[in-house]
Structure 1
Amino acid sequence: MLVLRSLLFNLFFYVWTIAVILVLVPCMLLPGDRVILAGGLLWGRGNLLALRLICGMKVEWRGFDKMPKGAILVAAKHQSAWETFAFFVPFRRPAYVYKRQLAYVPLFGWLIWKARQIPVDRGGKGVALASIAAGAERAAADGRQVMIFPEGTRRAVGAAPDYKFGVTHLYERLGVPCQPVALNSGMFWSRKSFIRRPGTVLVELLDPIPPGLPPDVFAERLKSEVEAATNRLIAESLARGEGQGPSH
């Protein structure tokens, strides 16, 4: 039954994604990015609803009363593809840092461009950091949430942390609060499996980190607080008998 439900959701996911894209492409003729971002919200809500109805996978959002108003740097744990669409629900004006190659995907890439997301240019470290900073500064000036996964890619549940310098660079350049986010989505939607497990994904906003800290102090605080909270959320779900724990 778990396999069948997972297959049904995966089918829904691709059909729903294509449908949303086809509806939004004509909307690119409209000024601004708000309609496209609203489409992202619709995409996220549809997928979360389907996960709950088909797979029994729910979500519990915690600590969103802590989130500062206005422009912020959101630094989130990244365990699954789940957060790439789910975060459109609580974060209404996100500007994701993403690999520029995605911009070349037909139709989907056009929407990323229209939504003014933040591409990362391939090349040397300096080139990549400059491209991220330029897009992030424009997004922050517009009062948006700059979204970055500090480890750069999905990490397995329980894997040793691997935080990159990019998040620290943005923290220095933007001069806005950093909003750390812990989660345990990989217990229910792992990065190398099509199985979607029942249970409740836990997402928790931690205390915001104020701007102006020394870079090394910020980097250590971000990593230690996000990793401690993520481990706590994993333990909480395991105590409930939900999800799949570390495999190593």
Structure 2
Amino acid sequence: MQALGHVQDHALEQLLARTPTTLLADRRVLVTGAARGLGLAFARSIAHAGARVVLADILEEPLKQATAELAALGLDVFALPLDLANPQSVEQVAQAAVTHLGGLDGLVNNAAITNSGGKDAHALAIDTWDRVMDVNVRGTWLMSRACQPALATSGHGSIVNLASDTALWGAPNLLAYVASKGAVAAMTHSLAREWGSDNITVNAIAPGLTLVEATEYVPQARHQKYLDGRALPREQQAADVCGTVLFALSDLARFVTGQVLPVNGGYVMH
């Protein structure tokens, strides 16, 4: 798909060729931040694995285009505009997704913003900090809460939160984002315990620096730092994270919950 870039296309196609189309058969999944990058790759791989997928994002035009492209591939997808900073929007999207799908089996909390890249702790504006926390932390909590009743009714509900390995190694000059992703990891532990009795698994994936549109601002020195430090010495692509998300949503992971799994080629071993 053009939205993922040629290299991403090739890697994702290879992953999909190895993914059983029945892995998530008849599952109903909501993916936030799905208009591009990792979220779009997740949505495509989840739908390819047999699920019906609702894509949600604040970027309405790219969202419409992405959903149309997936539908043209014969995938069962539907688009909903979402502003995670707006609690009413979160509630509306959760309800609309459940209504459209007739229930909900999986939620991928992928949507997030950075906004603090390149600024040290003194240069970081309070408004920027608050915005990042509102979207990345509060938004993840509110969306999870809004979807919890439907996930509980499912009997095999799964939540996959997107954390970041930056919170595991303490990336500098990215404080608001790093702190928000550390909070997402902690939230994952707590929600796993709260909702385990409803047979809902809650896990977090912590990707390393991934080649997608959202990381184009990252200086080359940071890319090189990852390349030099990974056990697998190559750039990370969106497809590298998709398999772990599919696993966490599937019946293969029904006894895995409350975990934060770094997916970063061995840059951080946790």
Select the structure with the greater relative contact order (CA < 8 A; seq sep ≥ 6).
1
TM class by shorter-chain length? 0.3 to 0.5
